[in-house]
A = this chain, B = another copy of it.
Amino acid sequence: MIFSRNDGYPTDVGTASQLEDMLRHHGLRPTRQRLAVLAVLARERNDATAQGIYASLTRRGEHVGLATVYRTLAALNGCGVVDALMHNPGEVCYRLCGPGHHHHLVCDACHRVVELVDCDLDAWLAERAADHGFTVSGHTVEVSGTCADCRAIV
């Protein structure tokens, strides 16, 4: 799996030309700006806000308009390439994630994110929901905790 990561470390997320192919595959033109946003996401072990990504780009001298960052993230989220996390009120965090069903384990201290890929809650939830007359269309689990690195510091 070339475009997926399983923990937060900056693993191989594809060369520039592979990122281009991915964008094209989703009907998105591989522009300089989109590749730059993807590069920041690929380098980020934590989740990142639109504002934060914009700041990263500016810091590195890559000129990408803030509106473009927002539009790019919306497009990538629409394709399922990035996940949107809403643990903080008032802002959305984005993260380049694997394509399958998974949940997020987030470090309270450093915001590092790990994907939990094995989840078999469906049957259990469907049963509980049926007790209340609901049919289930989806679910998200967010687990908060402390990663090994941060625990070591304290």
- With a cutoff of 8 Å between Cβ atoms, the chain B residues found around residue A146 in the complex are 134-135, 137
Partner of A128, one of B118, B136, B147: B118
Partner of A89, one of B86, B125, B143: B86
A151 in the interface, Cβ–Cβ < 8 Å? yes
Specify the chain B residue showing the minimal Cβ separation from A140: B142
A76 in the interface, Cβ–Cβ < 8 Å? no
Specify the chain B residue showing the minimal Cβ separation from A85: B86
Q: Which of A108, A141, A143 has the most CB of B within 10 A?
A: A143
Q: A105-B129, A128-B116, A132-B105 are in contact. Are A144 and B137 (CB under 8 A)?
A: yes
A51 to chain B, nearest CB (A): 13
Decide: A86 and B87 in contact? CB cutoff 8 A: yes
In A100-154, which residues have CB < 8 Å from any B CB? 105, 107-108, 114, 116, 118, 121, 125, 128-129, 132-148, 151
Chain A residues within 8 Å of B, Cβ to Cβ: 7, 84, 86-87, 89-90, 92, 105, 107-108, 114, 116, 118, 121, 125, 128-129, 132-148, 151
Q: Identify 18 new A-B residue pairs, CB closer than 8 A, beyond the known A105-B134, A132-B147.
A: A84-B89, A86-B86, A105-B132, A116-B128, A121-B141, A125-B141, A125-B143, A129-B143, A129-B145, A134-B143, A134-B146, A134-B148, A135-B151, A138-B143, A138-B144, A139-B144, A140-B141, A141-B141
